[in-house]
């Protein structure tokens, strides 16, 4: 089916409903529900930044502070995971389901580390190297997580709730931290997954900014190819590779989808959800 005609069949409300059926969204929602339940049933006591449960001399951590801590941890972990969500061995859905399950199991230790500003990169190393879905190029991914540790400095100036209200600022700060161009697909994907998480924890919907472009990956390229016979015009041919490993001009494809989103008055990251969940499921 013609892609542009297909997109016109969906208004914004329908797209959000489709988006919230995404297995990645549901995995995070279920994870947060379990984390909240654990927190509700647990009396967390602290002394010198350590979890001491009911040890002598411990004092209860105020509920409001504890809620903020858990919220910040949850959203920080989502950003970490999004930044290493590439070269996945299986589907992204399975990887995010694995991640969501893992952070529930490790919640207490992750919270202790986050509270005292201790790096969790070694814990990520153990997780990735034993993962069913994300073992590839793990050393490079660990390097990305180490760089992202510096983002904690941004959190001293901006709360995640403020970032949710200004996701362009979040994208800019992450790009500065990682030393990447702000339109890099892993960074824009990180904003998308942050939006999922923030929508869940803050219990309110804020649409993605119109100016954040869609993350172009192999699935979007396939969608583009299937809709345009002239797609080869977007390719830079390398005779040495006989055309098999064609270098695709992702910027032009990204601009096409951004224009399509604008025409339909849909932020590009929400259009991405329609293409990823609905269109891909029906035509691929």
185 is catalytic: yes
pLDDT class of 246 with cuts at 50, 70, 90:
very low
Name residues whose C-beta falls within 8 Å of residue 77's C-beta, 6 or more positions apart in sequence. 103, 110
Q: Choose the weakest-confidence range: 8-22, 107-121, 154-168, 242-256.
A: 242-256
> How much is the pLDDT for 232?
53
d(CA 262, CA 264): 5
**Catalytic residue selected from 135, 217, 252, 255:** 217
Please tell me the pTM assigned to this model.
0.87
Query: What domains are defined for the chain?
Result: 3-283 (1.10.340.30)
> How much is the pLDDT for 135?
87
150-164 residue pLDDT tens: 999 999 999 999 999
d(CA 170, CA 156): 13
> How much is the pLDDT for 38?
81
pLDDT class of 244 with cuts at 50, 70, 90:
very low
Name residues whose C-beta falls within 8 Å of residue 88's C-beta, 6 or more positions apart in sequence. 95, 133, 134, 136
251 is catalytic: no
> How much is the pLDDT for 239?
44
- Contact between 24 and 279 under an 8 Å Cβ cutoff? The reply is no
- Give the sign of the dihedral formed by CA 270, CA 276, CA 282, CA 284: positive
**Phi–psi pair at 69, nearest 5 degrees:** -60, -50
Bigger pLDDT: 219 vs 96 = 96
Tokens 């989502």 found at: 78
Task: Report whether pLDDT(165) > 70.
Answer: yes
**Catalytic residue selected from 185, 210, 246, 255:** 185
Bigger pLDDT: 52 vs 91 = 91
Name residues whose C-beta falls within 8 Å of residue 75's C-beta, 6 or more positions apart in sequence. 160, 194, 197, 198, 201
Q: What is the DSSP string of the chain?
A: --HHHHHHT--HHHHHHHHTT-HHHHHHHHHHHHHHHHHHT---EEETTEE-TT-TT-EEPPHHHHHHHHHHHHHHHHHHHHHT--S-SS-HHHHHHHHHHHHHHTHHHHHHHHHTT---HHHHHHHHHT-SS--TTHHHHHHHHHHHGGGHHHHTTS-HHHHHH-HHHHHHHHHHHHT--TT-HHHHHHHHHHHHHHHHHHT---PPPTTSPPPP-HHHHHHHHHH-TTGGGGEE--GGGTTTT-EE-HHHHHHHHHHHHHHTT--HHHHHHIIIIIIHHHH-
Cβ count near 216 (within 10 Å): 23
> How much is the pLDDT for 249?
79
188-235 residue pLDDT tens: 999 999 999 999 999 999 999 999 999 998 889 889 888 875 555 555
Name residues whose C-beta falls within 8 Å of residue 280's C-beta, 6 or more positions apart in sequence. 219, 223
Chain mean pLDDT for the chain:
87
> Side-chain half-sphere of 6: how many Cα atoms within 13 Å?
13
């Amino acid at each position: 089916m013609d892609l542009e005609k297909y997109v016109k069949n969906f208004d914004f409300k329908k797209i959000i409903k489709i988006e919230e059926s995404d297995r990645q969204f549901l995995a995070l929602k279920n994870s947060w529900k379990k984390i909240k339940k654990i927190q509700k049933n647990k009396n967390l006591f602290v002394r010198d930044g350590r979890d001491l449960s009911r040890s002598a001399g411990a004092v209860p951590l105020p509920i409001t502070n504890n809620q903020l801590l858990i919220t910040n941890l949850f959203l920080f972990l989502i950003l970490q995971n999004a930044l290493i969500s590439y070269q996945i061995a299986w589907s992204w859905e399975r990887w995010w389901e694995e991640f969501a399950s893992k952070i529930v199991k490790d919640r207490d230790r992750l919270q202790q580390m986050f509270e005292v500003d201790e790096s969790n990169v070694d814990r990520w190393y153990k997780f990735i190297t034993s993962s069913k879905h994300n073992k590839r190029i793990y050393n490079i991914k660990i390097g990305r997580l180490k760089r992202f540790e510096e983002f904690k400095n941004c959190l001293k100036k901006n709360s995640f709730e403020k970032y949710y209200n200004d996701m362009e600022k979040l994208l800019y700060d992450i790009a500065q931290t990682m030393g990447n161009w702000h339109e890099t697909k892993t960074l824009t994907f990180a904003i998308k997954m942050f939006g999922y998480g923030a929508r869940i924890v803050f219990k309110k919907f804020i649409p993605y900014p119109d100016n954040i472009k869609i993350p172009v990956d192999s699935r979007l390229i396939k969608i583009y190819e299937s809709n345009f016979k002239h797609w080869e015009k977007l390719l830079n041919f390398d005779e040495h590779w006989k055309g098999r490993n064609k270098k695709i001009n992702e910027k032009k494809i990204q601009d096409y989808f951004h224009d399509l989103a604008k025409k339909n008055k849909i932020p590009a990251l929400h259009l991405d959800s329609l293409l990823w969940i609905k269109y891909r499921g029906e035509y691929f």
